[in-house]
Amino acid sequence: MGLNIVTNREIINKFKSSNYFRVNLGLVPTIEKNGGRVYNDSDKFAYFYNNTYQTSIYGQGNVGDIKFYLDMYINEPVMAIYYGENFQEFIFDFDEEFIFKKGVDAYLGKILKECDDKYDELKKLNELRKLEQNVKGDPNKIFTNPGQVTYEDIKAYLELERQKRQL
C-alpha cells in the first residue's frame, strides 16, 4: 500500500534527517497540452490532490513506499496522510516530542501502525454498513418484480403488513 504524506516545510525537514530518506523531487505539477497548461496526471496522487484542493504540491522525497509532498499553504504542525489506492485521508498532529525521544524512523513506524489500524476500522465499518443495507428487503418487490423476490423482501413485506394491522 502506498502512503503519501503532505505537510509543511518544517516537518519535511525533520523527516529528511532519517537515514532512509531519499530526495526525489517528483514530476512537474503542470504540463503543456494543446497550447495550454494542465495538471500532470503522471503522478496519480499529486493529480488527485491538485484536483481536490485546487493547489499544487511538490514532491520532496521518499522513505521506501512513503512519499513526502510539500504544500506551501499548510501552516499548522499537521500532516495529511493518504493511505491506499483510494487515497483515504487521515490527519495527524505532528509530535516533535516523540521524534526527540525516539527518533524520526520510530515516528514513521508509529504513523504506519496508526494508519493501518484506522484503515482496518474503516474497512470493518464499511462492511457492516453494506451488510445492513443488504439485510433490508423491499416490500414492494413482491408486486413490482415477483421473479426477483428474495427472502429479505418477503420478511420486509410481512413486517409492513404486521405494522398495518396494528394501526
Is 64 found in the same domain as 11?
yes
Residues 38 and 83 in one domain: yes
Give the per-residue pLDDT at 1.
61
Q: Are residues 87 and 146 in the same domain?
A: no
Question: Measured between alpha carbons, how far is residue 88 from residues 75, 120, 123, 138 in Å?
Answer: 22, 11, 11, 32
Rounded to whole angstroms, the Cα distance separating 24 from 67 reads 9
What domain count does the chain have? Answer: 2
- Note the pLDDT of residue 22: 95
Q: 7 and 32: one domain? A: yes
Q: Strands 66-70, 58-63: parallel, antiparallel or unpaired by DSSP?
A: antiparallel
pLDDT of the chain, 167 residues: tens digit per residue: 689 999 999 999 999 999 999 999 888 778 888 888 888 888 899 999 998 999 989 999 999 999 999 999 999 999 999 998 889 999 999 999 999 999 999 999 999 999 999 999 998 888 877 766 655 778 888 888 888 888 888 888 888 888 888 76
88: domain range?
Answer: 3-131
